[in-house]
Amino acid sequence: MCGIIGIASNKQVSSNIIESLKKLEYRGYDSAGIATISNGEIDEKKCTGRVAALEKIIFKTPSLGNLGIGHVRWATHGAPSKINAHPHSSEEVSVVHNGIIENSTILKKNLEKTGYKFKSQTDTEVITILLTDFLKKFDLVLAINKTLEKLIGSFALGILFKKHNNIIVGARRGSPLAVGYGHNENFLGSDSYALKSMTNKITYLDDGDVCILSNDKIIFYNKNGMKINKRIQTLSSDKQTADKGDFKDFMSKEINEQKFSTKVCIKEYVNHLKKDINLYNFPIEPKNIDKIVIIGCGTAYHACLAAKHWFEELTSIEIETDVASEFRYRKIKFSKKNLYIFVSQSGETADTFAALDLCKKNEVKTCSVVNAVESSIARSSDFILPIHAGPEIGVASTKAFIGQMLVLYILALKISKIRNEIPKAEYITKISNIKKLPDLINKTLKCESKIKIIAKDVYLSKGFIFLGRGPSFPIALEGALKLKELSYLHAEGYPAGEMKHGPLALIEEGLPVVILAPQDRYYEKTISNMQEVIARGAKVLLITNEENNIISENIRFSIEVPKTDNQLTTFLITIPLQLLAYHIASLKNLDIDKPRNLAKSVTVE
Ligand code: G6P
């Protein structure tokens, strides 16, 4: 993973590179670096840690030059260190890379045999050395092609040359790369978000494309080395801002924002006057769908799991869910009568994209549920359903999760209506209930003061268990994941009914167990499981809805979310879990928006 940026301008570039790198930190933040061409030489600066640390270095010793590349890293080959940070430069070239070179070990051995010495443990440095070697024998374009031919794996590259000191070369295979057009300057970046403050005119490179940019032109070549023209797109302007405002961090802002983001999303999809859902032109006629397969990674996968329940409750369609990293390597029986749905906030997750690509190669219909509508996943699918959550910056996903579930729920309802599987009155009631969701989320957010007290009581515990049944089980998984991501605590999400098959052995005096028991058809069963863990000494936090009839003096805490449609309750019981993870991490003084070892967009396998 990692983020790359390149700027060719008629003015100094380092401050814009730094600003863009800050926007790319969601892709990696263990080290950062920059290289500019200054007085005909490559000036490389790098450090471990955040872009802010690099900025301080540049403040003391400016990086001069009108041409430069920058990088934020999420280590794959070699520990996060100054030497492994990008760019990787030789006398002749400087390279930033996002992706993985799978044959780097063998390439490195061969280059070492011919006398080259490597400074770092990275896979990227082989690109630097290969290019340096080929430049001795061939012209620029041939040297680039020869280098790229040798590479197996995925890459988005930005390259500077000492001898061609007015150009930056970009190349893409597998990892995303965009170019942006400015006035007397042009840009290269891992995504359009990093370029947005400088331009709204963008072109995305396709797999195999190479580009050569200078401050006044951009030339594209396709994978066969042919010069090509590419379409320029104008980026849409975001209604919601990527600004912390008065909040301490992005995560607290994003949790709070869910009352607005859901409103925006509902407005896009639900026509309250017509009491209908605005979804048309499906890539496959819903009445003819045999099976829906819903695929994602991490939090997005949990949204897929929740959606499985709604599709099963509302339609007779067979539903399958899978994590993308498994799906892409399974021996799938593809069918043209199936719909394959890909769920991804960033739309750039490598495994999800590869799973989508596999579907495309098998010529089946695909749909993407994404936040970033200009992303690779969105652009490659037959049907795009944006979640309209606005920029999500905190690495641990919150408002995008709620948005993904919301769009999948709306889709399930609409498909059920088209297939005549939901009675009209029930459809209309569900639509009017959806309208109330933002308000109910707002009311649920008020549990924060109680959550702060609970967090104080449990934050020193060494582990946590989250239990739920039916659609509450994916939320148990999500609650455990949020806590792991933010607090570095061991947390398990389990189907409540599975406890007796092993995990019950973990229960000991004082172990916090979060029980998700809204009043649905699983309620009594889950409450019995709760009694079983209480009997063994667990410290229980019960999350249920208002007017529940549970009286147990052994429940340590309980949170009651407002009563609504059972399917919408799944959204509400998520909120206390987000807040719990947030406040535990906050008490532990951890970096909430950038947890250790993680990245927001996982663009490597
Ligand atoms: C990373 C993020 C998670 C996210 C997952 C999938 O692991 O840290 O928050 O759920 O990737 O990302 P996507 O952008 O595909 O939803």
pLDDT at position 603, please?
Answer: 78
Q: How confident is the model at residue 242 (pLDDT cuts 50, 70, 90)?
A: low
How many angstroms does the Cα of residue 398 sit away from the middle of ligand 1? 11
pLDDT at position 373, please?
Answer: 86
Burial class of residue 91, CB neighbours in 10 A (0-12, 13-18, 19+):
exposed
In the predicted model, is pLDDT for residue 243 greater than 90? no
Best of 29, 484, 602, 604 for a ligand 1 pocket test (most atoms within 8 Å of beta carbon): 602
pLDDT at position 511, please?
Answer: 96
- Percentage of the chain exceeding pLDDT 70: 98
Q: What is the pLDDT of residues 408-422, one digit of tens each?
A: 999 999 999 999 999
- Ligand 1 neighbours, Cβ below 6 Å, are 297-300, 344-346, 349, 352, 395-397, 598, 600-602
The one-character DSSP state at 577 is H
Q: Where are the domains of the chain?
A: 3-234, 250-422, 447-587
In the predicted model, is pLDDT for residue 239 greater than 60? no
pLDDT at position 448, please?
Answer: 97
How many angstroms does the Cα of residue 406 sit away from the middle of ligand 1? 17
Counts for the chain of helices (H) and strands (E), in that order: 18, 27
Interatomic CA distance for residues 386 and 401, integer angstroms: 12
Here the tokens at position 23 are 């926007």
Q: What is the mean pLDDT of residues 288-314?
A: 98
Interatomic CA distance for residues 257 and 242, integer angstroms: 12
Q: What is the mean pLDDT of residues 347-353?
A: 94
Q: What is the pLDDT of residues 487-540, one digit of tens each?
A: 999 999 999 999 989 989 999 999 999 999 999 999 999 999 999 999 999 999
Q: What is the pLDDT of residues 70-95, one digit of tens each?
A: 999 999 899 999 999 999 999 999 99
Interatomic CA distance for residues 213 and 170, integer angstroms: 8
Is 447-587 in the same CATH topology as 3-234?
no
Domain 250-422 has CATH 3.40.50.10490: yes
**Contact status, residue 45 vs residue 54, Cβ threshold 8 Å:** yes
* DSSP per-residue codes, 129-151: HHHHHHHHHS-HHHHHHHHHHH-
pLDDT at position 238, please?
Answer: 58
**Is 2 known to be catalytic?**
yes
Q: What is the pLDDT of residues 151-184, one digit of tens each?
A: 999 999 999 999 999 999 999 998 889 999 999 9
Domain 447-587 has CATH 3.40.50.10490: yes
Q: What is the mean pLDDT of residues 566-587?
A: 98
In the predicted model, is pLDDT for residue 552 greater than 70? no
Pick the CATH number of 3-234 from 1.10.3720.10, 3.60.20.10, 3.90.800.10, 3.40.1190.10: 3.60.20.10
Atom of ligand 1 nearest to the CA of 298: 10
